[in-house]
Structure 1
């Protein structure tokens, strides 16, 4: 069990990240202190959990905390795992409601709400655990669609009873295809939906197993350090990367669309000589060739191997309003132009909703890392396959470096 001091520090970290409500799972021992510690930290809403319905000591501790509690959730997946019977749960809910005058609910795995409709009327609101991951859905937009459909279906079944999804999230590691950026994007999109939900969960829990993903559901690491999602509770969307670091799982586009005098291009996506951030940056060297076009460029596109849109791909990026990147030249004075969108297939048909491409126009680079941006306010980002473009018409050998290429969200979009 954690100490009171450790819990108080947890509450401080969560509050400073922007959280204002909390749901707990038990009221035994030091867990009974959480509602008061949450109020002291500034939390505005507290739903207190009771792990074992009818346990006299745990129930009494929950009752004693009622001045700091807005509502209770009695039990968590206990019917599914046969820890208690429905009648015992029903009695515990009724007695706690009568004793405290507070609203009371229970929480079960999603499937039970479809097979036992008594759950829909058991508490003062419907409070299921609903995870897209356990349905094989991890891509953020698909996960949002699944969550919205689940929420809407439960609302239709519950009638006038409110529905809030008690556990909703994506793990960040433990299986292929999981990352902090996927979790962050899922939550960012979910926040803008009409779904009522609770983030699951606050901190990674190393003691869990669950097929390898159990320890990795937190919005924070177990040492309370931020994950990507926890840094954007108040600020909205996380960055959507074209390039963060060599081999990073959240690099969403690849530099495969070589154009113009492509024979003169050399690219190293793992240059470690002097990155702006992280372990690496991109180095591009261009050497003009005789008998070749007088310009060269590269499209970063999705999916890999699409060969000018022969394969479907791209991303829905509504919500991001700016493309930013850091660039510098090897000697200073290098001229290059950078763009986003405007990708076309081999016969000239558009592949991007953003067309024509939005450009910086030619930039003169210095030897110092400098951040540049392309405003995307008011532009159609419903489908972006061409995430970034570099173009040069240099007439002599030139080398530039790029880093932290990303779409960013900002207020007032």
Structure 2
């Protein structure tokens, strides 16, 4: 039998509630082992490795940072409507093939992908990313919703996120994917209210193992309806190592209402 408990994510509460963790960073797995059913909202989506409070704070998700369910959690802690989709395997890497026309960064929640939104920047404490947004996706069952809620008297008044591989890689470790042959980045976006000013980009992560692609960017004023946006790319050798496949940034100055919320869907590299 499970004991129902409420868990408030955060380092202080984690330490107080689970003093018996004994160095175990995976809070959700610990709850599973101890027969605790985590109430809705306590463990949300994937681990958020960008969190900086230390300890278990970045490990509350019911999925690993690459959006794959943690062992044993899909049946008891992860309970979406209907059966979970089958896990994709290396023998069937449907998100990428050099013979395919597209390479997906995000098309659906829990899709296998090499890239995760781990590269938080600026006012990281004011960011909120939900990769299982079920309200009005562009296609399929889910989209990604992003929120940036700054404070006028705190922070640097801008924020953003890179989708990186490996998770949290700022060019200081080997990684990235060889995407030669892909010469266009296509994605769909819509604003919560319309009028949000967002900068979208790919490439540009520096460092010894950073992107071979210089930063390519498009600046967008969103509408409330889904629209397709495109960033043209050079293809060829410039795409040899892509660490930061996709990213966005927004500032308080360009969004004086005080914050932005918007959705993303069907983020893909395409061969023309």
TM-score with structure 1 setting the length? 0.42
Give matches, 1:8-47, under 5 Å: none
Shift of residue 174 of structure 1? 8.9
Shift of residue 177 of structure 1? 2.8
Q: Tell me the equivalent position of 1:281.
A: 143
1:366/1:343 Cα in 2 relative to 1: closer, same or farther (>3 Å)?
Answer: same
CA contact (8 A) 2:182 2:235 kept: no
Give, in whole Å, the separation in 1 of the partners of 2:203 and 2:234: 14
- Counterpart of 2:248 (choices 390, 402, 405) is 390
Give, in whole Å, the separation in 1 of the partners of 2:137 and 2:89: 28
Say whether residues 1:354 and 2:213 are aligned partners: yes
CA contact (8 A) 1:241 1:252 kept: no
Give, in whole Å, the separation in 2 of the partners of 1:239 and 1:336: 24
Give, in whole Å, the separation in 2 of the partners of 1:368 and 1:174: 32
Give matches, 1:5-404, under 5 Å: 176-181=89-94, 185-186=97-98, 188=99, 237-249=100-112, 251-289=113-151, 290-306=153-169, 308-345=170-207, 351-355=210-214, 357-360=215-218, 362-377=219-234, 380-393=238-251, 394-395=255-256, 396-404=258-266
Shift of residue 325 of structure 1? 0.2
Shift of residue 293 of structure 1? 0.6
Shift of residue 291 of structure 1? 2.1
Between the two proteins, the alignment pairs up a number of residues equal to 181
Higher helix share: 1
1:335/1:385 Cα in 2 relative to 1: closer, same or farther (>3 Å)?
Answer: same
Greater relative contact order (CA < 8 Å, ≥ 6 in sequence): 2
Shift of residue 309 of structure 1? 2.9
After superposition, the CA RMSD in angstroms is 2.0
Instruction: Give structure 2 stretches of 5+ with no counterpart.
Output: 1-85
Q: Deviation digits for residues 48-73 of structure 1, max 9, x if unmatched?
A: xxxxxxxxxxxxxxxxxxxxxxxxxx
Higher strand share: 2
CA contact (8 A) 1:284 1:400 kept: yes
CA contact (8 A) 2:88 2:94 kept: no
Local SS of the residue matching 1:405? strand
Larger radius of gyration: 1
Give, in whole Å, the separation in 1 of the partners of 2:221 and 2:185: 18
